[in-house]
Amino acid sequence: MRIGIFGGVFNPIHFGHLRAAEEVRTALDMDRVMFVTAARPPHKSLEIAAASDRLKMVQDAIRDNPNFISSSLELNRPAASFSIHTIEELRGNYPSAEFCFVMGIDAFLDFSTWLQPEKILSLSDIAIISRPPFGFDRIADSPFLTKITGGELDSLKDGKTRMIKKSSTAGRKIYLTNITPLGISSTLIRKLVKNGGSIKYLLPAAVESYILSNKLYGGSMGHTGG
Protein backbone atom coordinates (compact mmCIF):
# COMPACT_ATOMS: atom_id res chain seq x y z
CA MET A 1 0.00 0.00 0.00
CA ARG A 2 1.20 3.50 -0.88
CA ILE A 3 0.16 6.20 1.60
CA GLY A 4 0.53 9.94 1.29
CA ILE A 5 1.08 11.87 4.51
CA PHE A 6 -0.74 15.20 4.26
CA GLY A 7 -0.15 17.17 7.43
CA GLY A 8 -1.48 20.55 8.41
CA VAL A 9 -3.07 22.70 11.07
CA PHE A 10 -6.33 22.65 9.04
CA ASN A 11 -7.66 25.81 10.68
CA PRO A 12 -10.06 25.09 9.02
CA ILE A 13 -9.74 22.47 6.29
CA HIS A 14 -11.12 23.66 2.92
CA PHE A 15 -11.46 22.68 -0.74
CA GLY A 16 -7.90 23.84 -1.46
CA HIS A 17 -6.57 21.17 0.90
CA LEU A 18 -8.91 18.51 -0.42
CA ARG A 19 -8.23 19.21 -4.09
CA ALA A 20 -4.46 19.26 -3.51
CA ALA A 21 -4.65 15.90 -1.74
CA GLU A 22 -6.76 14.39 -4.52
CA GLU A 23 -4.49 15.64 -7.29
CA VAL A 24 -1.30 14.43 -5.65
CA ARG A 25 -2.97 11.09 -4.85
CA THR A 26 -3.89 10.46 -8.47
CA ALA A 27 -0.62 11.82 -9.88
CA LEU A 28 1.46 9.53 -7.66
CA ASP A 29 -0.96 6.59 -7.73
CA MET A 30 -1.43 6.53 -3.96
CA ASP A 31 -3.84 4.12 -2.32
CA ARG A 32 -4.64 6.49 0.53
CA VAL A 33 -3.94 10.02 1.67
CA MET A 34 -3.71 10.39 5.44
CA PHE A 35 -4.67 13.80 6.82
CA VAL A 36 -2.55 14.31 9.94
CA THR A 37 -3.94 17.17 12.02
CA ALA A 38 -1.10 19.08 13.68
CA ALA A 39 -1.02 20.33 17.23
CA ARG A 40 -0.92 24.08 17.80
CA PRO A 41 2.30 25.38 16.21
CA PRO A 42 4.32 27.24 18.89
CA HIS A 43 5.59 29.79 16.33
CA LYS A 44 2.17 30.88 15.07
CA SER A 45 0.14 33.59 16.77
CA LEU A 46 -2.98 33.21 14.61
CA GLU A 47 -6.36 32.43 16.11
CA ILE A 48 -6.48 28.68 16.10
CA ALA A 49 -9.40 26.40 16.90
CA ALA A 50 -9.07 23.67 19.51
CA ALA A 51 -7.42 20.47 18.32
CA SER A 52 -10.66 18.52 18.83
CA ASP A 53 -12.56 20.97 16.61
CA ARG A 54 -9.96 20.90 13.84
CA LEU A 55 -9.83 17.11 13.90
CA LYS A 56 -13.62 16.86 13.74
CA MET A 57 -13.73 19.22 10.76
CA VAL A 58 -11.15 17.07 8.93
CA GLN A 59 -13.16 13.94 9.66
CA ASP A 60 -16.34 15.59 8.41
CA ALA A 61 -14.60 16.90 5.27
CA ILE A 62 -13.20 13.53 4.14
CA ARG A 63 -16.04 11.27 5.29
CA ASP A 64 -17.34 10.55 1.79
CA ASN A 65 -13.96 9.80 0.20
CA PRO A 66 -12.76 6.22 0.83
CA ASN A 67 -9.26 7.17 -0.35
CA PHE A 68 -8.85 9.72 2.46
CA ILE A 69 -8.21 8.81 6.10
CA SER A 70 -7.68 10.93 9.20
CA SER A 71 -5.07 10.60 11.92
CA SER A 72 -4.90 12.19 15.38
CA LEU A 73 -1.41 10.78 15.93
CA GLU A 74 0.27 14.16 16.44
CA LEU A 75 -2.50 15.43 18.69
CA ASN A 76 -2.07 12.44 21.01
CA ARG A 77 1.58 13.13 21.78
CA PRO A 78 2.20 14.70 25.21
CA ALA A 79 5.29 16.58 24.00
CA ALA A 80 6.12 18.68 20.95
CA SER A 81 5.44 16.80 17.73
CA PHE A 82 7.82 16.68 14.79
CA SER A 83 7.41 15.21 11.31
CA ILE A 84 10.23 12.70 11.78
CA HIS A 85 8.40 11.22 14.79
CA THR A 86 5.18 10.97 12.77
CA ILE A 87 6.90 9.16 9.91
CA GLU A 88 8.68 6.77 12.26
CA GLU A 89 5.45 5.97 14.10
CA LEU A 90 3.50 5.44 10.89
CA ARG A 91 6.18 3.13 9.51
CA GLY A 92 5.83 1.11 12.70
CA ASN A 93 2.03 1.03 12.41
CA TYR A 94 2.07 0.15 8.70
CA PRO A 95 5.24 -1.93 8.21
CA SER A 96 4.35 -3.03 4.68
CA ALA A 97 3.38 0.43 3.41
CA GLU A 98 5.39 2.87 1.32
CA PHE A 99 5.03 6.48 2.44
CA CYS A 100 5.22 9.78 0.61
CA PHE A 101 5.34 12.96 2.68
CA VAL A 102 3.46 15.81 1.00
CA MET A 103 4.58 19.41 1.48
CA GLY A 104 4.31 22.75 -0.29
CA ILE A 105 7.27 24.49 -1.91
CA ASP A 106 7.31 27.02 0.94
CA ALA A 107 7.76 24.24 3.50
CA PHE A 108 10.52 22.59 1.47
CA LEU A 109 12.41 25.89 1.36
CA ASP A 110 12.62 25.71 5.17
CA PHE A 111 13.34 21.97 5.23
CA SER A 112 16.88 22.44 6.55
CA THR A 113 15.42 23.87 9.78
CA TRP A 114 13.30 20.77 10.44
CA LEU A 115 14.33 18.13 12.95
CA GLN A 116 16.49 15.49 11.21
CA PRO A 117 15.64 16.35 7.60
CA GLU A 118 18.15 13.84 6.23
CA LYS A 119 16.47 11.06 8.19
CA ILE A 120 13.05 12.08 6.87
CA LEU A 121 14.45 11.76 3.34
CA SER A 122 15.79 8.30 4.12
CA LEU A 123 12.42 7.03 5.43
CA SER A 124 9.93 8.52 2.99
CA ASP A 125 9.52 9.77 -0.54
CA ILE A 126 8.60 13.45 -0.79
CA ALA A 127 5.96 15.16 -2.91
CA ILE A 128 6.57 18.90 -3.26
CA ILE A 129 3.42 20.59 -4.49
CA SER A 130 3.08 24.00 -6.12
CA ARG A 131 2.04 26.85 -3.87
CA PRO A 132 1.88 30.34 -5.40
CA PRO A 133 3.55 32.76 -5.12
CA PHE A 134 6.45 30.38 -4.50
CA GLY A 135 7.89 28.92 -7.71
CA PHE A 136 9.74 25.68 -8.31
CA ASP A 137 12.76 27.72 -9.41
CA ARG A 138 13.26 28.57 -5.71
CA ILE A 139 14.37 25.01 -4.98
CA ALA A 140 16.87 24.69 -7.83
CA ASP A 141 19.83 24.84 -5.44
CA SER A 142 18.34 22.73 -2.67
CA PRO A 143 20.98 20.58 -0.92
CA PHE A 144 18.38 17.81 -0.57
CA LEU A 145 17.60 17.43 -4.26
CA THR A 146 19.67 15.92 -7.07
CA LYS A 147 20.44 18.29 -9.92
CA ILE A 148 17.48 19.68 -11.83
CA THR A 149 17.84 21.52 -15.12
CA GLY A 150 16.55 24.96 -16.00
CA GLY A 151 14.45 23.41 -18.75
CA GLU A 152 12.71 21.13 -16.27
CA LEU A 153 11.97 24.06 -13.98
CA ASP A 154 10.66 26.16 -16.87
CA SER A 155 8.40 23.31 -17.93
CA LEU A 156 6.92 23.16 -14.44
CA LYS A 157 6.63 26.93 -14.19
CA ASP A 158 4.81 27.20 -17.51
CA GLY A 159 2.46 24.36 -16.63
CA LYS A 160 3.65 22.25 -19.57
CA THR A 161 4.67 19.49 -17.18
CA ARG A 162 2.48 18.31 -14.34
CA MET A 163 5.13 16.32 -12.49
CA ILE A 164 8.87 15.68 -12.55
CA LYS A 165 10.43 12.83 -10.62
CA LYS A 166 13.87 13.39 -9.13
CA SER A 167 15.92 11.75 -6.40
CA SER A 168 16.67 13.05 -2.94
CA THR A 169 20.23 13.05 -1.62
CA ALA A 170 19.18 10.03 0.46
CA GLY A 171 18.29 8.10 -2.71
CA ARG A 172 14.52 8.15 -2.37
CA LYS A 173 12.13 9.81 -4.80
CA ILE A 174 11.12 13.46 -4.82
CA TYR A 175 8.12 14.43 -6.93
CA LEU A 176 7.72 18.05 -8.04
CA THR A 177 4.00 18.30 -8.69
CA ASN A 178 1.84 21.06 -10.11
CA ILE A 179 -1.64 21.25 -8.63
CA THR A 180 -4.63 23.42 -9.50
CA PRO A 181 -4.42 26.78 -7.66
CA LEU A 182 -7.83 27.43 -6.13
CA GLY A 183 -7.00 30.65 -4.32
CA ILE A 184 -8.67 29.52 -1.08
CA SER A 185 -6.98 29.95 2.28
CA SER A 186 -7.85 29.23 5.89
CA THR A 187 -6.96 32.85 6.66
CA LEU A 188 -9.60 34.08 4.20
CA ILE A 189 -12.24 31.77 5.67
CA ARG A 190 -11.54 32.87 9.25
CA LYS A 191 -11.72 36.51 8.19
CA LEU A 192 -15.04 36.00 6.41
CA VAL A 193 -16.54 34.21 9.40
CA LYS A 194 -15.39 36.93 11.78
CA ASN A 195 -16.87 39.63 9.56
CA GLY A 196 -20.15 37.79 8.96
CA GLY A 197 -19.40 36.97 5.33
CA SER A 198 -20.41 33.85 3.43
CA ILE A 199 -18.02 30.88 3.37
CA LYS A 200 -20.29 28.71 1.25
CA TYR A 201 -18.48 26.84 -1.56
CA LEU A 202 -15.06 27.48 -0.01
CA LEU A 203 -15.21 24.33 2.10
CA PRO A 204 -17.49 21.30 2.54
CA ALA A 205 -20.98 22.04 3.79
CA ALA A 206 -20.43 19.86 6.86
CA VAL A 207 -17.39 21.94 7.83
CA GLU A 208 -19.27 25.19 7.24
CA SER A 209 -22.07 23.96 9.47
CA TYR A 210 -19.65 22.88 12.20
CA ILE A 211 -17.90 26.27 12.21
CA LEU A 212 -21.12 28.24 12.44
CA SER A 213 -22.94 26.02 14.92
CA ASN A 214 -19.92 26.00 17.25
CA LYS A 215 -19.24 29.72 16.77
CA LEU A 216 -15.63 29.16 15.76
CA TYR A 217 -13.45 32.07 14.61
CA GLY A 218 -15.77 34.66 16.07
CA GLY A 219 -18.72 33.44 14.02
CA SER A 220 -22.38 33.55 14.95
CA MET A 221 -24.90 30.72 14.88
CA GLY A 222 -27.36 33.11 13.30
CA HIS A 223 -25.25 33.42 10.14
CA THR A 224 -25.98 30.64 7.64
CA GLY A 225 -23.33 31.45 5.05
CA GLY A 226 -25.97 31.79 2.32
Say yes or no: 191 and 85 in one domain. Answer: no
- Condensed to tens digits (0 to 9), the pLDDT of residues 38-87 reads 986 655 556 899 999 999 999 999 999 999 999 999 998 877 789 999 99
- Condensed to tens digits (0 to 9), the pLDDT of residues 124-176 reads 999 999 988 888 888 888 999 988 888 888 888 777 888 999 999 899 999 99
Query: Residue 108 pLDDT more than 60?
Result: yes
Say yes or no: 70 and 121 in one domain. Answer: yes
Instruction: Return the sign of the alpha-carbon dihedral for residues 17, 114, 161, 185.
Output: positive
Q: Which of 19, 47, 34, 40 lies closest to 91, judged by CA?
A: 34
Residue 226 lies in a domain: no
pTM for this model (two decimals) = 0.91
Say yes or no: 155 and 67 in one domain. Answer: yes
Q: What per-residue confidence (pLDDT) applies to 42?
A: 53
Residue 12 lies in a domain: yes
Say yes or no: 106 and 154 in one domain. Answer: yes
Q: What per-residue confidence (pLDDT) applies to 220?
A: 65
Query: Which spans in 7-76 are helix H?
Result: 15-27, 51-62
CA-to-CA distance for 175 and 173, rounded, in angstroms? 6
Instruction: Return the sign of the alpha-carbon dihedral for residues 145, 149, 152, 156.
Output: positive
Range of the domain at 25: 2-177
Domain count, the chain: 2
Q: Which of 57, 63, 52, 37 lies closest to 212, judged by CA?
A: 57
CATH number at residue 6: 3.40.50.620
Say yes or no: 111 and 191 in one domain. Answer: no
Say yes or no: 135 and 207 in one domain. Answer: no
Question: Confidence band (pLDDT; 50, 70, 90) for 211?
Answer: very high
Say yes or no: 168 and 194 in one domain. Answer: no
Question: Confidence band (pLDDT; 50, 70, 90) for 98?
Answer: very high
Question: Considering the chain, what percentage of its residues have pLDDT values greater than 90?
Answer: 72
Residue 17 lies in a domain: yes
Mean pLDDT of 83-96: 95
Query: Residue 121 pLDDT more than 70?
Result: yes
Q: What per-residue confidence (pLDDT) applies to 152?
A: 87
Mean pLDDT check: name the lowest of 26-30, 126-130, 152-156, 217-221. 217-221
